[in-house]
Structure 1
Amino acid sequence: MSESRSNYTPRPMSNATTYALGGVAVSLIVLIVIAAFQWGRDDVAVRNDGYGSVRDTEVRAVLEQDGSILLGRPEPKKTITIFEDPLCPGCGNLERIYGQEIAEQIDTGALAVRYRLVNFLDDRSKSKDYSTRAVAASRCVAEAGSGPVYSRFHTDLFTTKRPSEGGADLNNTELAALARTAGAGEPVMQCIETGAEVDAARTTATAQTTALGDALGGSAATPSVFDGTTKVDVGDENWVAALTE
């Protein structure tokens, strides 16, 4: 799957790549559809380019019991859900194009985001467990509680540092260094380097994949964004703005 330029708006391709995953806490096979994107010829700037990641120190990251990571201010006007795999090219495109626009809406309290991270692309990483380890690292960073730190880590994880499918990926030491760059402290580094959250990440990421399949009627696609139980059309370049109207 080819990498895409970051300054174009994504549109779904007609020939999405499909993977089959069996036996994730259910007896039926769950079809995993990795959303691929093609980019139009008309240049469209990254949404809210220059804003960066979340800034407000009142924004908190919360690692929830089911493994979801909630990023937002207290009492946001709306909470949306984003399903992503750390190796997914489409997820990287989503974060590059809309991440800064989302960050500003989080800072203002208009939105909070519940990230539900999945790991069905493990086998497409060189280490064969990159997605799981990246989810584990995300858990370590989120447990520390800082919204701006988690936001910076998440942004880098999905954009500038996201490996290509089948290419070299990040080891735990490199994931820990990424967290350090984002501003995380030594306990977070230790958590990532020792793989303390890997087993929990594998369990929760598999469960999140099943939940996504259920939400989409038996197939799962990343990235997938939900406003409550309604799937958001991320092919509409104004989808973030529409959610906050």
Structure 2
Amino acid sequence: MSEKNRDGKRTARERLAVEREKQKAAEKRRRALIVGASVVCVLALAAVIGVLAANASKEKKGDTAGPVVSPSGATGKGALAIPVGKDGAKSTLTVWEDFRCPACQSYEAKYRSTIQELVDAGQLKVEYRLVTLIDEIAGGSGSLRAANAAACAQDAGKFTAYHDVLYENQPQEADDAFADNSKLIELAGKVEGLDTPAFQKCVNDGTHDSWVVKSNAARQSSGVNSTPTVLFGGKNIYADQTMTPAKLKQLVEAENKG
């Protein structure tokens, strides 16, 4: 083989080697770009998921980023109880309730007249603690919306009457009708003097949403896991199968004589 031919083949091999190196470098850059793009996509997806999760959490809690505004006259630790009755009453009944809770409605229907009689007689004070247990279990926001509306009624001095109207018009447990503010405002029309621009604004603005969330958190931390939970003398009398309105009246009257 002539020197010229050998030089030509060597040059060709060198060119081929250079080309292969170029291809390897290009392939390496391509793979790096794919990996980089994948990492960016994963990070972007994680960011989107994080935002969605945060928004879902806010929706679940009623998007309560605002300050905690307690309703007028709220008492107790953190001002989380709505009191009904005279401050001087010797007996106190604490009621943890949810306006979507069918058992709460049954309890109210059974005990309402007796409780009202004892309250009017100055013997009993009731502390209502509003929670959102059914929202947690069944989904929706009717418990939160109704509790906020009840707190708005407390601001107007109409809590008891509106409280009773909500239970009298309670939808089926699976029906989240109370999530509609217009429905809650419509029901306010059944309470004389309640359906005012101030009440409507309070309901639509969710003025007491954060307060309701705080009240429900207090329920969780206190170990109350069902509604209604009705405490008298530190005991859950709702769980007492022998309890009746007549027996509750006897207990209250006995305490007031003691």
TM-score by length of 1: 0.64
Q: Any gaps of 5 or more consecutive residues in structure 2?
A: 1-71, 254-258
Q: Does 1:240 align with 2:240?
A: no
- Give the letter for the 1:192 counterpart: V
Q: Secondary structure of the equivalent of 1:90?
A: helix
Question: In structure 2, what is the Cα distance between the partners aligned to 1:189 and 1:108?
Answer: 33
* Equivalent in the alignment of 1:223: 228
More helix by share: 2
Question: Is contact 2:94-2:129 (8 Å) kept?
Answer: yes
Question: In structure 2, what is the Cα distance between the partners aligned to 1:132 and 1:162?
Answer: 14
* Equivalent in the alignment of 2:182: 173
Identity score, percent? 27
* Equivalent in the alignment of 2:160: 151
Q: Does 1:81 align with 2:94?
A: yes
Q: Secondary structure of the equivalent of 2:99?
A: coil
Give 4+ residue runs of structure 1 displaced > 3 Å after superposition. 123-126
Q: Secondary structure of the equivalent of 1:115?
A: strand
Per-residue CA shift, 1:27-65, capped at 9, x if unaligned?
A: xxxxxxxxxxxxxxxxxxxxxxxxxxxxxxxxxx83234
Q: Any gaps of 5 or more consecutive residues in structure 1?
A: 1-60, 214-218
Quote the offset at 1:97 in angstroms: 1.0
- Give the letter for the 1:115 counterpart: Y
Question: In structure 1, what is the Cα distance between the partners aligned to 2:220 and 2:128?
Answer: 12
Question: Is contact 1:66-1:204 (8 Å) kept?
Answer: no
Q: CA RMSD in A?
A: 2.1
Quote the offset at 1:168 in angstroms: 4.3
Question: In structure 1, what is the Cα distance between the partners aligned to 2:143 and 2:116?
Answer: 23
Aligned pair count reads 174
Return closer, same or farther for 1:173/1:125 CA change in 2, 3 Å cut-off. Answer: farther
Q: Secondary structure of the equivalent of 1:80?
A: strand
Question: In structure 2, what is the Cα distance between the partners aligned to 1:139 and 1:209?
Answer: 20
Return closer, same or farther for 1:239/1:132 CA change in 2, 3 Å cut-off. Answer: farther
Return closer, same or farther for 1:178/1:62 CA change in 2, 3 Å cut-off. Answer: farther
Question: In structure 1, what is the Cα distance between the partners aligned to 2:165 and 2:195?
Answer: 17
More strand by share: 1
Quote the offset at 1:83 in angstroms: 1.0
Q: Secondary structure of the equivalent of 1:83?
A: strand
Question: In structure 2, what is the Cα distance between the partners aligned to 1:239 and 1:195?
Answer: 39
TM-score by length of 2: 0.61
